[in-house]
Amino acid sequence: MSRYRGPCFKKIRQLGALPGLTTKSPKAQEDKDRQNARPWEEPIYRIRLHEKQKLRFHYGLTERQLLKYVRIARKAKGPTGQVLLQLLEMRLDNILFRLGMARTIPGARQLVNHRHILVNGRIVDIPSYRCKPLDTITAKDGEKSKVLIQNSLDSFPPKNVPPHLTLDRVQYQGLVNQIIDRNGVGLEIKESRVVEYYSRQA
């Protein structure tokens, strides 16, 4: 299944707020209507599918990519769900989004693909590049790159930078301080349900 390129608002009406996919958010009344639409108890499969779709669309992954991350998380030490979220949060496109250097993850992916981003002084054009502690992420030394990033930073409150990252707005530079912990994840998600969904596939 390919990456989703359809209407973003349609997905947030189905799944709830997806800050990585779009800056739009559903109205409070729509949220309430969606919660009250199914007064019966939802089947467990539907709940698992909902959480999986929420994770997939927020981070902008294909089905194959997400399954690959689940398999990696299963082999790592620690709770599978937490490791899965850490792997996704440490992707370069997500780090740019969390720093405020891009308004959405698709926007961050475009910055990386168009070679506007340096990691430790070298151009990286792979959005899925896994950042590590002490990695330095900067804009390429060019006017166009800095203008694109400045436009995003202008609408990004400094208080929204998560504690595992540091942002230098003047230098257009971000620093990865450490691996993100569970509390720093920027999406409301029940990751255990995602792991359960893939339990027979991964």
* Residues 114 and 156 reside in one and the same domain: yes
Note whether residue 2 is domain-resident: no
Contacts for 73-76: CB closer than 8 Å, 24+ residues apart: 73/195, 74/202
pLDDT of residue 1: 43
User: Which residues 6+ apart lie within 8 Å of 27 measured at CB?
Assistant: none
Range of 16's domain?
Answer: 8-87+187-197
Are residues 132 and 151 in contact, defined by beta-carbon separation less than 8 angstroms?
A: no
Lowest mean pLDDT among 39-43, 70-74, 121-125, 129-133: 39-43
CATH code of residue 163: 3.10.290.10
Residues 75 and 50 in one domain: yes
Distances (CA, A) of 179 to 25, 90, 130, 195, 201: 28, 7, 11, 21, 27
Same domain, 98 and 38: no
User: Which is nearest to 174 in space by CA: 75, 76, 108, 78?
Assistant: 108
Query: What's the pLDDT tens digit per position in 28-53?
Result: 545 545 555 555 577 888 899 999 99
Q: Based on the domain organization, do 46 and 77 belong to the same domain? A: yes
Taking residues 95-108, report their average pLDDT. 93
**Quick check: is 202 in a domain?**
no
What CATH number did the domain enclosing 66 receive? 1.10.1050.10
Q: Is 168 part of any domain?
A: yes
